[in-house]
Each structure stands twice: as C-alpha cells, then as structure tokens.
Structure 1
Amino acid sequence: MEVLNKVSLWVAKFNSSEELSKFMEERFDRNGDVYSDFMKSFKIGFIDNHFQEVDFYGDLTVKQDVFDGFSYVESFIENIPNENWSDYNSVILLYNFEYNQKVKQSKKVKFVGSFEYVEE
C-alpha cells in the first residue's frame, strides 16, 4: 500500500482526543509485531508513523477549517469530497500510502479516499 505522493484519508467520531490517541496507539503482540486498533480495523499490516497526521478537530464544520495546517493539503483539498464535517471530529491522514482494502468503515471511522499530493 506504500505509494509515493498518495495520501489516504479517514474521518472519525470519537468522544475525546484521548480516545482517538488510544485508537491510533501502536502496541506490540507476543511475536513483536506492531499493531493498533486502527490498523486492525482496516486490515493494515504496517504504517510508517513518520508519514501520519492525526487530528481531533472538535466542532469545526467547514472543510477548509478542518484541514487547515495539514501537510501538502493545498495540493489535494479540492479532491476531498464534501462531507457533513459536523458528523465527525477527527481526521487521519497517511502519506505515501494508498489504502485499497475492502474495509471502508468501522464503528467510529470512515475511509474517505486516496488522493495525489504534491510536496511543496
């Protein structure tokens, strides 16, 4: 799923930023393999967390405000479909990653899509 200049986007609804952090927290199993609830939910085997941005945006409702401050967002924000942003409060972005699994939604998280981005 590693693809240069692709970014994969998920939106989510959590009760707090701590709950989001716990969902994203990487742990190790008995064999030493890394996993997180996010990775398990979407059947992702590995994430380079150096290329990951996660934000609990709270009660923002405008796409420009939700994505303000994310890396390279100017190059792909126009491709993000319109959502009812008030239905969510969190964003997960994985850069150099093109998600292509069949799992599109978990209990609290929804995959939106993968987009090309330009490093500026």
Structure 2
Amino acid sequence: MIRYITLGTNDLPRAIRFYDAALAPLGLCRLVTEAGEAGYGPPGGMARLWITRPFDGKPATAGNGSMPALTAPSRAAVDDFHAAGLAQGGFDEGAPGLRPYGPDFYAAYLRDPDGNKLSAVCGAA
C-alpha cells in the first residue's frame, strides 16, 4: 500500500549519520545519496524511506501525529535501533519494551535530530 515515506531534515549530513546508524539493526541501508536527499531500504531493494530537505525551501518541521513504524527482525534489533539512534543525536520517545497492542508487540520509539518520530517493532499486533 505505501510506496515510500519522506521525512524532512534541515541538516542532511546529520540526518544521514542518524539514519545510517539507527536503520542498520533493522537490516536497512542507504541506497541513494543525492545533493538534497538520502533513500533507505533493504540491500538490493528499493528506497522506501527518504530523508530530504523540503522541496519548497522552507525549514523542515516534524509532523504532529506522524510516525513511521519500521519492522524489526528481533527484540535485539529493536534495542539496537533505539541505542544507535540515541547515540547519533536522537531523542527517546519510549524505551524498548512490550506494549499493550498484542502479547508480543515489542517496540521502541525515537525522534530523529529534526524531531521526526519513528518506531521499530517486532512481534504481532
């Protein structure tokens, strides 16, 4: 259903450092690097998550209520996503742990350095 997601940044090199580190535990990597954007996806796949400077030239702002939830292969990967994101300037929005959305719904929540909220989740909802 979703072709791709874009998240805005005001500092692409800083965002690249954050996303390179935070997405690696989820098996995702940077597939595209352009002057104003970077695209992430599975190795050999298509970029489905794009980090970009806004096309209108105005400052990037975080969406209130927006949050891409990324699939993690394991609880350890959720933990590593959260730790790597914090180490690269992200902000905690919910430490790794079980959530009330299902008996094994294990997730962590972060904001990137630009304030975009992300989660990594493993287990069924």
TM-score interval, normalised by the smaller of the two chains: 0.3 to 0.5
TM-score (normalised: structure 1): 0.33
Q: Normalising by structure 2, what TM-score?
A: 0.32
Structure ranking higher on relative contact order (CA contacts 8 Å, 6+ apart): 1
